[in-house]
Chains A and B, each alone.
Chain A
């Protein structure tokens, strides 16, 4: 089963088309293994991206260098998944 230790979900606020294209460039890079939860759109909606722990630093550097604002909505994805899993096991029992 896939594990997500230390992975985080970033909520990135984009203000215009230029920032959207920068972000699209970031999320499409293969080596960062980003998983888009809510896609960039031109309707000033925030973009949610799952960032693997190994990519946290390069992604933060990129966002900072591009002046893109972001917040962390889920600090440790695996912790949430463990809760969910535990509850399901309990309920199945």
Chain B
């Protein structure tokens, strides 16, 4: 009775435990579609859970989509959007033809909190913490920027070798166990076709590359898909997004998740910078969670439908 009454308030920010409980609840409410899978642990040994949405019994590695959120812990709207999206995928399957046909051909993996230690730290000690909480030997400064730690032009431009910097890339690629857990899972699976990373803020929809101004081989197609997605997103509340390659849309950034995915054969790789454009920044009020999640969903669906229609 409790499950069907579902007390989780999607219009509010939640603790890590509450998010993990809700993931479990979604898996319990939709046992034939959703399973909560532990893919690894954080530096401080918190579990890293993804929700796997699959209409098969996992017999084989179907083409798959990875939805990543919360890699920068202070960007709370990304974790909140992700858990809302999880419930949306499950409850719309069998009702919304788009998501139904996507799930009939592909699996979706959703990681709402890619940086659990950082997220807990923002809720207990410093709301503006961005990085992981790993210890840097020889330095008093803690943490690595988990979106500079991937093996994509690692330690290149747009990252710092100073452990006290917010964009510190870490001692080596995948040094952060949170990053390595995702890399190992995706490489072991071997059949991901799409990787989408949710961040905030600025209202941008970007695609590779971040580590170079060089044009990605599929840039024209990715640009077209991103513009369609931004248009769909804007159709709900008029929220306008800028579209373009990371490096020239916001700033150079080496070692990012999306560049790594693209360079490892995951063609449809996108970064969302969600609301807003700076009025509240990372402190987006909770009353904007659901409007943000609902508009983002239209953009995500546009991308996922394109992937479904263009499997490679």
Interface residues of A (CB under 8 A from B): 1-2, 4, 9, 11, 35-43, 45-46, 48, 50, 73-74, 77, 80-81, 83-84, 87-88, 91-92
Contacts and interface: CB of A to CB of B under 8 A. Distances in A.
A43 B286 contact: no
11 contacts: A41-B252, A43-B248, A45-B250, A46-B278, A73-B281, A80-B280, A80-B283, A81-B283, A84-B13, A91-B9, A92-B14
B125 A35 contact: no
Nearest to A50: B128
Contacts of B124: 1
**Interface majority SS on B: helix, strand, loop or mixed?**
loop
B279 interface: yes
Contacts of B282: 37
Interface in B121-146: 123-128
B30 interface: no
Q: Which of B249, B278, B280, B283 has the most CB of A within 10 A?
A: B278
Given A2-B125, A88-B12, A41 B250 contact: yes
A84 B286 contact: yes
Nearest to B158: A39
Interface of B: 9, 12-15, 18, 123-128, 166-167, 202, 248-252, 278-283, 285-286
B296 to A, nearest CB: 20
A48 B14 CA distance: 26
B5 to A, nearest CB: 16
B278 A48 contact: yes
**Interface majority SS on A: helix, strand, loop or mixed?**
mixed
A2 B127 contact: yes
Contacts, number: 70
A87 B286 CA distance: 8
Given A73-B281, A87-B286, 11 more contacts: A1-B124, A1-B125, A2-B128, A43-B248, A45-B202, A46-B278, A48-B278, A81-B283, A88-B14, A91-B12, A91-B14
Contacts of A74: 280-281, 283
A73 B251 CA distance: 21
Contact of A43 (B18, B167, B249): B249
B15 A73 contact: no
Contacts of B278: 11, 37-38, 46, 48, 73
Contacts of B281: 9, 37-38, 48, 73-74
A13 B183 CA distance: 38
B251 A88 contact: no
Contacts of B285: 83-84
Contacts of A41: 250-252
Q: Which of B15, B127, B166, B286 has the most CB of A within 10 A?
A: B127
A22 to B, nearest CB: 17
Contacts of B123: 88
Contact of A92 (B18, B167, B251, B283): B18
B128 A35 contact: yes
Nearest to B244: A43
A39 B251 contact: yes
A2 B125 CA distance: 6
Given A73-B279, A74-B281, A35 B248 contact: no
Contacts of A46: 278
Nearest to A46: B278
